[in-house]
Structure 1
Amino acid sequence: MNYQTPLPRKSRHARIVNELGTQIVSGRFQPEQRLPPEAQLCADYDVSRPVLREATRVLVAKGLVRSKPKVGTVVKPRHEWHLLDPDVLHWLLQSDSRHSFYETLIKVRNIVEPEVAAMAAANARPEDIATIEEAYARMELAEDLVGMAEPDMDFHMAIANATHNELLIHLYCVLLLPVRDYIENSATMFDEDALSLLVPRHKAILTAIQHRDPLCARHAAIAQLAGVDNLVTEVMRSEPLSKDEISYDH
């Protein structure tokens, strides 16, 4: 029998949260279905009841489950999940229905991002514009979509910060992170010309902000998002749908 050093308490807790969260959002456990009994989960994950209960509390806080004595832990209906929780968003975009949920997510981004660009054009300070320019310069140097991911994230977050609206900045960051991850993970499936199409559209947003033109910034952001939508649509068409995606109702 090989001896394995147990994972640290924090790592075991994170593993339980991640695996159960993934199984719930992917449909492995259906709404109103009970999770396996505590004793079984403790044995499966080789953890104590306190560690398991700590992980369960995290899932409760994310709106995925409810837990009651003598009842157990039950999966909550989808409409009660905290969909803007970063972990829940990540699990949804990793699930079998990721393409369908991406469509839902990008529709929200299409509403928010043009207004963020317009507000940035109206409210940006000189130092904000300098930060946006620096991120764009790094985007121009990227050799592929994977290399563009980080400066692209910095570019959009710099624009959000230029609005000087802390609630909008937080909301936009929550929306942007999973979209960035989705595109980065699918980057190998994009056409080789994708980079040459995306970079100039970001330049248009930058130019509008430099000229403090909210209307042009809004329209430039809409055009940039349309380009991303077209690229992702091509990726979706090239991948076979799973049974879960075919029956997924969003």
Structure 2
Amino acid sequence: MNKKRVVVTGLGIISPLGVNFSTSWKNLIDGKCGVVVLKDISFSKLPCKVAACIPNKDEIIKSYFSKNEIKNTSPATMLGLIAAEEALASAKWKPDDKHSKQETGVCVGMGMVDLTNVCDTNEALQIGYNRVSPYFVPRILTNMAAGQISIRYGFQGPNHSVSTACATGAHAIGDGFKFIQQGYAKVMVCGGAEACINPLSIAGFSRLRALSTSFNESPSQASRPFDKHHDGFVMGEGHHGVYQ
């Protein structure tokens, strides 16, 4: 089989540094930091009190989605849809014909589900079975970002999702590359989505001794993976979309 050449022709990002690619890239190049102090009282007793949060995330989501969509869709999936829209617009690829849609696939991963939703649903179950939302399972499946992107644009090519912790986004882009290279698709929308900054997630990773805990008063210094004084990673949220 002849391996096909693969190129990137579109990018989309929603991140702690910006709500689109150009803003995120400029802030990154300018050396700005998206890590902030977690001020909610629910984080007060945890050893790690910093994370990379998207500013005004709830307002951004409300500007893109209806109340029903917000109720029935996980935050990570919605971030994935926002970034995919930018990536497709950047690439000028929104085909109407069936053939092009059949040759367009999606490979978007998610490292972790929204644990708050799981806990809230368990509490609802204690009240009664009927209090469990019929959308509970779709909200916690890690493949839903990939599925919803395909549904929204009618893409009928390969639909694939991975969940490999911190490597998820890079893994998804690599798999999308292989789908094109090996002839399974001509176009792939790839990336990684995450939105799980909550006390339980922070507590769990803190118990693993994986998170930075020495820079709660100076969050911009917390993420320092190549520094001899590094003491852990910083949780973040967002989505990066790559159109190949």
Q: Shorter-chain-normalised TM-score: which range?
A: under 0.3
Return the structure number with greater strand share.
2
Which is greater in Rg? Answer: 1
Q: TM-score, normalised by structure 2?
A: 0.25
Higher relative contact order (CA 8 A, sep 6+): 2
> Comparing both structures, which one devotes a greater share of its residues to helix?
1
